[in-house]
A = this chain, B = another copy of it.
Amino acid sequence: MINVLILGGDGYLGWPTAMYFSSRGYEVTVVDNYFRRNACTELDTAMLYAIPTLIERAKLWYELTGFEIKVVIADLSESESMRRLFDGRLKYQWAINEKYSGLPEILIHYAEQPSAPYSLMDYKHADVTLINNLRVTNNLLWAVKDYSPDTHVIKLGTMGEYGTPNIDIEEGWLDIEHKGRKDTFLYPRQASSLYHTTKIMDTDLMWFGVRMWDLKVTDLMQGPVYGIETDESQIDHRLRTIFNYDEVFGTIVNRFIVQGCVGYPLTVYGGGGQTRGYLNIKDALQCVHKSAESPAKSGELRIFNQIMETFSVNELADTIQRVGLNRGFDVKVSHIENPRKELEEHYYNPVYQGLIDIGVEPHYLTDDVISDMFSIVEQYQDNIRTDVIFRGVKW
C-alpha cells in the first residue's frame, strides 16, 4: 500500500482528503493539533454543525468502510513532533494496526493557519500565523531532507500569493527577458494579507529545499474552495467536514449561502469587482490526488494554479441571490464599506491548465451545485448564529 501522511488532517480539506485517499486504497495517517477548532472556540466563530473528534471520525470511517485512517495528535510547529513522524519514534493516538506505517511516499501539507482576517486581527494573531505556518513548513523541510528525501511533498500555496498583477498570471514561473538577457523565475508574488504572505514564504522555503537537496515538491496555488459534501461524506453525515460561515474562517461562497439561507444580506466589500479563481471541494481533492498519482521529480518544484473558473464578488452574490430566491429564500445583497485594502477593479487573467492536463475533471459552480448547498445548509438552519457572521477585521 502507498503510504500517505496528511498534516492538518482535521481541517476543511484535511479530513475529506484523508477519506478520499483511504477509500482509494492508500494507507493514510492524519496529524493535527486541533488548531482550527480551538481557534473557532477562541474567536467564537460558530460551525454549521458539531464535528466529531479526529479519533471519533477515524473510528466511524473504519466501522462504515473497513478502511483504517491512523491518527496522530501533535503540534507540528514543534520540531520533534515532526521528526517523530519519520524516525520511528511515532506512537499513534489511534490505529487498528499500531505498527509504524514507515516513511511516507506522499506527504500532503495542510497544517497551516489559513485565514487572512485571522492573520490581521492584531499583532498576536499575526505572530501565531507567521510562526505556525513557517515553523511547520521549515520542520517539514528538514525532516524530509534528513529522513525521506524521496517523499513527494504536496503543499498548498494560494492564488493569493500572486495578488492581482497587471499581467497574466502564469503557473508558478515566468520567463523574463531584460536588457537582452533571459532567465526564468518564480512568478513575482505580492499578497494582500499577512496569511497570504506566509504562503509566499512557504514557497520560498520549499524552493530552497528543492534547489539545495533535490526534494520533490508540488505546490498547489489554490483559490477559495466552496462546498460541503464529498462522495465519502455522503456515506454518513457525521463524516462531513468542518464548515464555517463567518468572516474569519468561512470562505466566500460557503458564507454567502449561509447568509442567504437566514436572510442576512450578502456582504459585498466595496465595489465587488474583486475577481478570484474558485473551485469545488471535490475538485480540491481530485487535484491533490492527481498530483500524487503523477509526482514531481527529484529537484523539481512543480506549481499548478488550482482553480476551475473565475468570478467577481458581484457575480457570486448575484448568482447565489438568484438561485436562493428561486428556492424561496429571502436573499438580499448589501454593499458595505471595504474593510480591506485591495483593488476593487483590476485585471485578472490566470492560467490554470496544468491540473487539467494531469487528468482533473472540473466541477463548476452551477445553479444545481448552489441549490444543493442551500439544501444541506437548510438542514442546519437552526444552528446558524447571525451575530458571528460579520466581525469587521480591518486592514
Binding site for B on A (CB under 8 A): 79, 83, 122-124, 126-127, 130-131, 134-135, 138-139, 142-143, 146, 165-168, 174, 176-179, 181-183, 185-186, 188, 190-192, 194, 197, 200-201, 204-205, 207-208, 211-213, 341, 347, 395
Decide if A166 touches B142 in the complex (CB within 8 Å).
no
Judged by DSSP, the binding face of A is helix
A181 B167 Cβ-Cβ under 8 A:
yes
CB<8 Å pairs between A and B, sample of 5:
A167-B177, A174-B178, A176-B176, A185-B188, A212-B341
Q: Cβ of A185: which chain B residues have Cβ within 8 Å of it?
A: 165, 188, 190
Pair A204/B200 contact, Cβ less than 8 Å: yes
Cα A191 to Cα B186 with chains together (Å): 12
Q: Are B181 and A347 in contact (CB under 8 A)?
A: yes
B183 engages A166 (CB within 8 Å): yes
Complex CA distance for A130 and B131, rounded to whole angstroms: 9
Q: Enumerate chain B residues within 8 angstroms of A190, measured Cβ to Cβ.
A: 185-186, 204, 207-208, 211
Query: Nearest 10 pairs between A and B by C-beta?
Result: A185-B188, A123-B142, A166-B183, A167-B178, A167-B181, A201-B201, A165-B183, A167-B183, A212-B341, A197-B208
On whether A167 and B142 interact (CB within 8 A), knowing A134-B130, A190-B207, the answer reads no
Contact B135 A123 (CB under 8 A): no
Q: Report whether A181 and B166 are in contact in the complex, using a CB–CB cutoff of 8 Å.
A: yes
Beyond the given A186-B188, A190-B208, A197-B205, please list 12 additional residue pairs across the A-B interface where CB-CB is below 8 A: A122-B142, A123-B142, A131-B134, A134-B134, A167-B176, A167-B181, A176-B176, A186-B190, A191-B204, A194-B205, A197-B208, A201-B204
